[in-house]
Amino acid sequence: MTLPLSNSIRAQDAKHVVHPHTNLRTQPEAEPLVITRGEGIYVIDDAGNRYLEAAAGLWCASLGFGNARIAEVAAKMLTEIGYYHIFRGAANAPAAELSAKLSAIAPEGFDHVLLQCSGSEANDTAIKLVWYYWDAKGAPQRRKIISREQSYHGTSTITSCLTGKPKFHTGYGLPFDGFLYTAMPYYYRNARPGESEQDYSTRLADELEEMILAEGPETIAAFWAEPLLGSGGAIVPPDGYYEKIQAVLAKYDILFVADEVICGFARTGEMWGSQTYGMRPDMITCAKALSAAMQPISAVLIGERVFEQMKVQSDRFGSFTHGYTYAGHPVAAAVALEVLKIYEEMDLVGHVKALEPGFLAGFEALKDHPLVGDSGGVGLIGAVEIVADKETRAMHPPELKVMQIFEERASRNGLITRIIGNRIALSPPQIITAAEVEEMFARLRRALDETAQAIAG
């Protein structure tokens, strides 16, 4: 058994480590969850407690935790070269092979790959490329970018503007001008009485068009969308949504960027969420499962329409002046390439498709629980929504701290989930088995039962 983290290490953590998404005033007094090792879909803390990690870390640990094969690849590349860049025509074999492999598995027409280091960097870069494109086309006034309420696209300065969550703006002087937010496709909460999914999608597309006309189509550069809203609550789009949205974008010649940082690499049951939902983007951003979270790496997959104008600008200015020191890092690229090989060997898409019926059945079975309102998903990602009243869909008053109670009960049952407002998201490592899917939902139901008992007093 792993020994508990020493008091000195805990003291160092409390004094020096700035933890993202915590209250920095109270965090030093909190007891941290210290994960020391992993085995498949499970992680173990420093006291030896074992948890089924149903959130894959931050949606990203597709191959689970701890992998000797990946470690060997990383060690070999660290020994052979360790680091080199891809600036000014320099190259390394892993970056070249990875780019070729990504192009091969991408939707048709994505032959150009710009390697970056994180999902935020990939989306930040794609924003620059959108502006670069319109400048090349002689329309530099097309600067405005539309994303959606409650969307998440990163936390760099610019991607925080793209992210449609006000908490990411407050106190930072964000968002900058030119970032617009249309309605999120949240049928359960936002559909009108008697409105079908198709009708709801039509209304959202009409609202998008109204926004474009109000702003002036000649000022709109791009529309950004995750195939399904991940950090917005693992919310699946309604029927007809992307078909109708894309018709509006095409009408006004607006670029479309698919943020596949969460959905890419079979999370939704196809290799790309764009394929699941019939999306036809001009660029795709990906990260997370690209390396199974074993190394920090991301990529922008660039369609021909955009790349042609990048070449025009490169001729005009003498070079494509953009890049990061660690972009195309040979160790990260080698790890990502090996991860993609593992996906092929395990038939990742087929594996997720085979598990999807049982995964969705787990959500369906939870609909009878007194705390559960909405419940569902796609592929191996989904969520349940906790409500106080199933009929009115009213939420519990904040003072009850229902989600905090649930998280504590889930931890007692050896389960880690992703809490988003009043929604509990599941996105387990994609190596999960059918038996482990059943176990995950069994633990979830026990945690929900105990939460209901605690609320009842």
For 264-322, write each residue's pLDDT tens digit: 999 999 999 999 999 999 999 999 999 999 999 999 999 999 999 999 999 999 999 99
Lowest mean pLDDT among 22-36, 89-103, 145-159, 346-360: 22-36
pLDDT value at 166 more than 60 = yes
- The pLDDT value given to residue 6: 61
Q: Which residues contact 253 (CB under 8 A, 6 or more apart)?
A: 217
The confidence band for 3, taking pLDDT boundaries of 50, 70 and 90, is very low
Distance CA 49, CA 243 (A): 47
Question: Helix (H) and strand (E) counts for the chain?
Answer: 15, 15
Six token digits for residue 219: 């000022």
pTM, rounded to two decimals: 0.96
Q: Which residue has the tokens 């983007």?
A: 281
Rounded Cα–Cα distance for residues 62 and 431 (Å): 7
pLDDT band at 5 (very low <50, low <70, confident <90, very high): low
Domains and CATH numbers, the chain: 33-66+347-456 (3.90.1150.10), 71-346 (3.40.640.10)
Name the pairing type of β-strands 144-148 and 220-225.
Answer: parallel
Arithmetic mean of pLDDT over the chain? 96
Q: Identify whether the C-beta of residue 244 lies closer than 8 Å to the C-beta of residue 198.
A: no
The stretch 34-44 carries a mean pLDDT of 95
293: number of Cβ within 10 Å: 22
Looking at this protein, which amino acid is placed at residue 271?
M
